[in-house]
Amino acid sequence: MRIDVLTLFPEMFDGVFSSSILGKARDKGIVSLNTVNFRDYSNNKHNTVDDYPYGGGGGMVLKPEPIFAAVEDLPVGEDAEGGSVKPRVILMCPQGKPFTQKVAEELSCEQHLVFICGHYEGYDERIRQYLVTDELSIGDYVLTGGELPAMVVIDSVVRLLPGVLGNEMSAVTDSFSTGLLEYPHYTRPAKFREWEVPEMLLSGHHENVRRWRRKESLFRTLERRPDLLEGREFTKEEKAWLAEWQERNPKK
């Protein structure tokens, strides 16, 4: 996968792209992580990339010319048949589609992603209409720029690529990947102070451990994010667990 980030502050990505999982993935050649300062594509002597909005109002708006020029100057990849690969061009924006694990899984199947990180009051609408393929938001709040949201999305996507994580099952059992929150984890020692690891996890019975984890995932979701269960089709086993949970929590 190739990932390009259009930003006015490429130095913000230096540490993120060279550390931890992202750094290892780049070192292995699994992903190419690149930044582009779209100020370099400004078409005026002052290298400005923003201007006052038509119709008046506060703030400045990013101009379309440098953004279009920067995207169009990116290398074009090829698919297995030798055809050109069109990138997914993603605008990080509070107005965008909420970013979820499902979206991360979808993007992890792409060969080329381009992230546009804006600043100021907003973008010229023609960028939205004629250049980007996706608009994503990481939450119902506003940040000073799109860099931090882009880092969040990139980290979430890259860790799903084959060979990135040491244990391929880690991503499969993550919260949200199964539609449920992840089950509790424990490690040594088996007893810490007066708190003990659940006996089931020490039994060595793989099927019982699997059922315990599934059950705990369901209970944790009921307690913390019941909204995730709306519209879910429950198995016979899950229905029995639901009845057990409701018996324990009659007021919920």
Look at the alpha carbons of 94, 100, 106, 111 in this order and tell me if their dihedral is positive or negative. positive
Catalytic residue list: 94, 121, 159, 174
Q: Smallest Cα–Cα separation from 7: which of 157, 146, 183?
A: 146
Using DSSP, state whether 102 is helix, strand or coil.
Answer: helix
Q: How far apart are CA 107 and CA 12, in angstroms?
A: 23
Q: Smallest Cα–Cα separation from 85: which of 67, 50, 109, 105?
A: 109
One-letter amino acid identity for 3?
I
Using DSSP, state whether 229 is helix, strand or coil.
Answer: helix
